[in-house]
Structure 1
Amino acid sequence: MLEYLFINKGIILTREQIYTQVWGFDHEMTNNNLDALVKLVRKKIDYNRSKSIIENIRGIGYRVR
């Protein structure tokens, strides 16, 4: 997921785009699963940063700054 976000840096990716590209068309991920995964990744990569690298676009998806 992180690789896909960084390849598309600066582009807002919908949750459905992330699901399809990372886990495939027939996925069983929920919004809560994706949010939890993003939270864990942020915790690892945002160490000592005031703003997160992964930005939540409310109601749409995510974007890497």
Structure 2
Amino acid sequence: MGGYIVIAAMVCVTIIGIVGIFAMLAYLKEKAILKYKNSSKVGDNEISITVDDNKDKNSKN
């Protein structure tokens, strides 16, 4: 009977650990989303994308 208690305790600790890890990941994800939203309000909301075209190396734009 003592073995069953040890196994049940190990299962409970494992489940609590897994749930804790997922809770921490969800919290950090929410915190990162809020940080991104706050930083985008401060900026001027412009996105610059630069694409290098290797076909036209000699042309000057």
Q: Which has the larger radius of gyration?
A: 2
* Higher helix residue share: 2
By relative contact order (CA 8 Å, sep 6+), the higher-ranking structure is 1
Calculate the TM-score normalised by the size of structure 1.
Answer: 0.27
